[in-house]
Amino acid sequence: MLPESLTIGIIQFRTIPGQVERNLESTSALIESAKRSGAEVVVLPEMWPTGYGDIDYRSLSEPIPGRYTEYLMRHAIRHRINLVAGMPERANGNELYNTSIFISDEGKIVAKHRKIHLYTPMGEDKIWRSGNSYTVADTKIGRIGLLTCYDGDFPESWRATSLMGAQIIFQINAYESPCEDWWNKFYPSAALQNVVWGILCNAVGNTSGKKPAHFFGQSRIIAPDGQIEAEAPYIAPGDEAESFLLIKTILVKSRFEEARNKFGNFLRDRRPHTYTVIGQPLS
């Protein structure tokens, strides 16, 4: 059940690629700052502890539970906060997954989502195995869904997660330039068409390597009517990038119920029997 209000802390994180210890140290201070500001749930971006670039992901990946989750679990218990974060997961021996998790304020792993859509322009398909199912879970802050970056660019991901009952979708990202147009067009529409809260946490700064990509930030909280409730700074390519903490208290229950009453037809008036082509491979 959704609470009346919810204070969200989004850590728009500048990860130092490959420098796990420095990233964890920086994160601790930001989580403490979020708690002091009243945050009840704190969100970190995709590949939060390791960053992106020419990195040996195999050596830096951890099982779940493992080093990264245990770090988050300690902070969740200490500060009595819920945490959402993304990390490289090693499973079944040699399999690597781009994974996001939700940890409760009791330090429990409530949900785990393996990224389904691997972003081929950045070579993710050469590193990670793809997940094969969407993720929702009941929590103290409502029924939540998890998506990871490129997952959300596909309207089927938001629709499937919403139809599974999600009221709040947390999407963690390492969303790069020059894809700002996608960011601005896809996600307010996704929240409105599926009548759900969208909590989007993006990384900021550059990857490492010969051809570095730039993550532009602009993390957002989007209401179920498509309105942007809060937004972190946009960092243009070439500009100095630093981590930023976005804190916002939202009337999560009333805004959700109001939007469902006003726009619930987008879900009620569906004609699923006409959509079978969606499940077919592209010819």
102 touches 110 (CB < 8 A): yes
Q: Which pLDDT tens digit goes with each residue over 96-153? A: 999 999 999 999 999 999 999 999 988 899 999 999 999 999 999 999 999 999 999 9
Residue 283 has pLDDT above 80, yes or no: no
Question: Distance (Å, rounded) from C-alpha 157 to C-alpha 143?
Answer: 16
What is residue 90's DSSP assignment? E
Mean pLDDT of all residues in 212-238: 97
Of the pLDDT bands very low, low, confident and very high (cuts 50, 70, 90), residue 248 is very high
Q: Where are the alpha helices (DSSP H) in the chain?
A: 20-36, 57-60, 67-79, 155-163, 180-194, 252-263, 265-268
Q: How distant, in Å, are the alpha carbons of 1, 41, 104, 110 from that of 140?
A: 7, 10, 8, 11
Q: What is the CA 10 to chain-centroid distance, rounded? A: 10
pTM above 0.85, yes or no: yes
The CATH number for 6-269, chosen from 3.10.20.340, 3.40.50.700, 3.60.110.10, 1.20.140.10, is 3.60.110.10
Q: Which pLDDT tens digit goes with each residue over 44-63? A: 999 999 999 889 999 999 99
Residue spans of the domains in the chain: they are 6-269
In this prediction, residue 281 carries a pLDDT of 87
Q: Which pLDDT tens digit goes with each residue over 264-282? A: 999 999 999 999 999 888 8
Mean pLDDT of all residues in 153-180: 98
Ramachandran assignment for 18, one of left (phi > 0), alpha (psi -120 to 50 degrees), beta (any other): left
In this prediction, residue 263 carries a pLDDT of 97
Question: Distance (Å, rounded) from C-alpha 147 to C-alpha 99?
Answer: 9
In this prediction, residue 64 carries a pLDDT of 98
